[in-house]
Structure 1
């Protein structure tokens, strides 16, 4: 869990994507997240977290629906949503926290 703290306690906004490879909506988000990461460059981080490999973290954050997307800024969660989102929406949200 301490590694998670290091991931989110940074100056730029961090978009987390909790996913699994067997969930179609999660898989559909992969290219969207690539686009978001490319558009944001070093102004934000995009991190994908496989719930199968990170059960403890997923349970601690009460991740139920997949994909679950969260934005952290300076170690604090500032936005959370379950389900698919489009790249423009996510880019707009991240830009609010730069």
Structure 2
């Protein structure tokens, strides 16, 4: 299951991770976020041990949102070695998300 992270956890779970990480910037009120949630859960399970999937609630984490200039949700950011290497804005098919994640492995 994708872990919801906050504050200082972001640095440890994403920036200092030895594994590639996909961060789902979402909001509880966001319909498209809810649409892609099952795909993200499937990705989290399939990638267990190879990559991480974490979630950041944009309404609760304004510092992280500002740092990464998140303007719409869902925004999926892909990190490798602490750096943003790719992103997807908006709801997309499961295959698109899986393909992006596989490129990081």
- State if a TM-score over 0.5 links the two structures: yes
Separation in 2, partners of 1:88, 1:70:
16
Paired residues, what number?
Answer: 98
CA contact (8 A) 1:20 1:50 kept: yes
TM-score of the superposed pair, with normalisation by structure 2: 0.85
Q: Is residue 2:29 matched to residue 1:22?
A: yes
Unaligned runs of 5+ in 1: none
* Structure 1 residue ranges, 4+ long, deviating more than 6 angstroms after superposition: none
How well do the aligned residues superpose, as a CA RMSD in angstroms? Answer: 1.3
What's 1:43 paired with? 50
Larger helix proportion, structure 1 or 2? Answer: 1
Unaligned runs of 5+ in 2: 1-6
Displacement of 1:2 in angstroms is 4.4
